[in-house]
Amino acid sequence: MKHEIGRRQFLARGWKLGALLVGAAGAWTSWDVLRSRAEAGLGGVVRAARVDEVPAESTIYIRAAQTYLTRHEDEVIALWQRCPHLGCRVAWCESSGQFECPCHGSTFNRIGEYRSGPSPTGLQPFGVGVVEDEVEVDTGAVGRGPPPGAETIDEPVRGPTCIEGA
Ligand code: FES
């Protein structure tokens, strides 16, 4: 009889221990998944900014995603900093209201559409999601830049360029 109770206690403790381990594994997995989304750098999902921090007539630069964010008609747009010509980092020029490439002078409007220079396309976009008012940029897959052609926004160059020859 004494042996019987000991086995029952052993089994009960085993079940409790098993349940505890399963719970701990679930908690660890959840924490690990959430942590990696928040801290990922280029190549992953980057939590970039609050939605209300993204300007409609300018851009903000997100270093962790190597990306410029801007807004167009309530849509947040993420543009990779890499020039489609030979890969230089384009810069946002506040005085002209356009992106300008310091290497060979390509220019792009605020939403990344091609304006001038040797670049074969506009700037390449990243996917954007909004989670609880936070903009998340998925830098795991870059889209194609728009082909040269008519610009879809009416925002002409508004002043002096930042780069000679742009
Ligand atoms: S690398 Fe940008 S124009 Fe050449």
Which residue's alpha carbon is nearest to atom 3 within ligand 1? 104
**Would residue 63 count as lying in a domain?**
yes
Number of domains in the chain: 2
Q: Which residues contact 123 (CB under 8 A, 6 or more apart)?
A: 79, 80, 83, 84, 90, 99, 108, 112, 145
CATH code for the domain of 69: 2.102.10.10
> 87 and 26, same structural domain?
no
Question: Which two structure tokens, joined as six digits, stand for 71?
Answer: 């807004």
Give me the pLDDT at residue 36, please: 45
The mean per-residue pLDDT over the stretch 138-163 comes to 96
Residue 92 near residue 61 (C-beta atoms within 8 A): yes
Tens of pLDDT, residue by residue over 51-93, are 999 999 999 999 999 999 999 999 999 999 999 999 999 999 9
Ligand 1 atom with the smallest distance to the CA of 87 is 1
> 1 and 14, same structural domain?
yes
Pocket residues: Cβ below 6 A from ligand 1: 83, 85-86, 88, 101, 103-104, 106, 117-119
Question: Which of 83, 77, 79, 84 lies closest to 66, judged by CA?
Answer: 79
Domain assignment of residue 55, given as a range: 42-142
Ligand 1 atom with the smallest distance to the CA of 101 is 2
Tens of pLDDT, residue by residue over 109-148, are 999 999 999 999 999 999 999 999 999 999 999 999 999 9
> 50 and 21, same structural domain?
no
> 131 and 49, same structural domain?
yes
**Would residue 104 count as lying in a domain?**
yes
> 46 and 22, same structural domain?
no
Q: Which residues contact 146 (CB under 8 A, 6 or more apart)?
A: 112, 113, 114, 121, 122
Question: Which two structure tokens, joined as six digits, stand for 118?
Answer: 């040797």
Beta-strand runs (E) in the chain: 45-50, 60-62, 67-72, 75-80, 91-93, 98-100, 107-108, 114-116, 125-131, 134-142
Centroid of ligand 1 to alpha carbon of 35 (angstroms): 36
